[in-house]
Structure 1
Amino acid sequence: MPALHSPWQIYVPRIDRAHRHWLTDVGSLTQKLKQHSQGFTVLRQAQQRAPTPLAESHAINMPNRRRTWQREVLLLCDGIPVVYAHTITPLESVSRDWPFFKRLGNQALGVALFANPLIRRAHFEYTRLSERDELYQTTQAAVANHGLVLPKHIWARRCIFHHNRHKNSRMMVTEVMLPAIYNLRKQTL
């Protein structure tokens, strides 16, 4: 029977040391990608109300299949997809905690999150996705239009953001590292 998801762990995974910083850097991934490319863009795939994915319901402390606002984007560096990102938040908290969320369009979520000192990020969790994982399959569908075929395993990280002014606010951001991210080099001026 296919797995719904690979297990998420809080320890840093055993990944090539040269690639590890893409998973573990606690700064803004958006800013880091901008520093590693001449042209950074966000390509929104979807933004809608949808049932909470089964693999994410426990992590965000929501009952199975309860509806959430979800956003899926590809982050591109110089026209090449390097990250697939999936974000969910409870419907009732969008207007109160994350009013900017519905208006992002093709703008990076990270800019809004890191610009607000009242928003804090919890620890990262990591996983290695395989072809049997629902998130892997969703990622493959998102990059297929770019002619990409994923390797058998890819790394992902996720974390929950909280707004300090509101009890129980939460937004979970999952970032899947695509193979091209490991080829990026920091741009020099």
Structure 2
Amino acid sequence: MSRALHSPWQWHVPRIDLSHTHWLTDSGSLTQKLKNHCQHFSVQRINQLSSPLSLSETIPMQLPRGRSVLQRQVLLICNGVPAVFAHTVTPIERVGRDWPFFNQLGNRALGVALFSNPLIRRDSFEYTRLCSQDDLYQMAQRALNGHGFDIALPSHLWARRCVFTHTRHANSRMMVTEVMLPSVYALQPTP
């Protein structure tokens, strides 16, 4: 197996098909956007466990590499087909105080909790183009394979990430990364 990479993250919106751009740039809840584009929406939790912070997450999270964080990975599914792979990290010791809802999510969407609280602020998006050697790409592929979805991913996937902070808690940080899977681009608004 080849060594995993970390594609560079950038602040500017990537040059992709204009009909796909809104999936990366929409400032609202991606969960709500997906619900508005399918008849049946569900969340499949892949895991929620302690893991070391990856190199590409150290600067936005303001934590040293290898620091233990609580990681949550889910598939956001529209009409029975995974549309987004989401990867969330936050310091373990901050969960109870800053994000008390986090451990009770199960197969519910994180976005609902984040966007319903006016005290939670989201920073600007960063974007990247993942190749098959990237950690996140490989996580997405393992999530699909491990949960019975036989989906051949293209050679590259677009992803976005942002950091959420709680305005009443100093140093609260939760980073949410969303990897767009091929089926998301075919979704149309539901009537």
Q: Quick check: TM above 0.5?
A: yes
In the other structure, the counterpart of 1:150 is 153
Aligned residue for 1:93, secondary structure, equals helix
TM-score, normalisation: structure 2: 0.96
Moved more, 51-60 or 90-99: 51-60
* Structure 2 residues not aligned, in runs of 5+: none
> Where does structure 1 differ by over 6 angstroms across 4 or more consecutive aligned residues?
none
**1:159 correspondence with 2:154:** no
In the other structure, the counterpart of 2:171 is 168
In the other structure, the counterpart of 1:59 is 60
- The aligned amino acid for 2:104 is R
For residue 54 of structure 1, report the CA deviation from its aligned partner: 2.3
Aligned partners of 1:122, 1:96: CA distance in 2, in Å?
A: 20
Aligned partners of 1:136, 1:100: CA distance in 2, in Å?
A: 27
For residue 53 of structure 1, report the CA deviation from its aligned partner: 1.9
TM-score, normalisation: structure 1: 0.97
Please list the CA deviations of residues 86-130 of structure 1 after superposition, one character each: whole Å capped at 9, or x if unmatched: 000011110110000011000000000000000000000000000
Summarize the alignment of residues 117-128 of structure 1 with structure 2, pairs less than 5 Å apart: 117-128=118-129
In the other structure, the counterpart of 2:76 is 75
Task: Provide the alpha-carbon RMSD of the alignment.
Answer: 1.0
- The aligned amino acid for 1:140 is Q
- The aligned amino acid for 1:36 is H
* Structure 1 residues not aligned, in runs of 5+: none
Aligned partners of 2:37, 2:61: CA distance in 1, in Å?
A: 31
Please list the CA deviations of residues 15-53 of structure 1 after superposition, one character each: whole Å capped at 9, or x if unmatched: 100000000000000000000000000000000111112
Percent identical residues: 60
- The aligned amino acid for 1:81 is P
Summarize the alignment of residues 29-48 of structure 1 with structure 2, pairs less than 5 Å apart: 29-48=30-49
- The aligned amino acid for 2:180 is M
Would you say how many aligned residue pairs link Structure 1 and Structure 2? Answer: 188
Aligned partners of 2:129, 2:75: CA distance in 1, in Å?
A: 19
Summarize the alignment of residues 76-95 of structure 1 with structure 2, pairs less than 5 Å apart: 76-95=77-96
- The aligned amino acid for 2:83 is V
Aligned partners of 1:43, 1:91: CA distance in 2, in Å?
A: 22
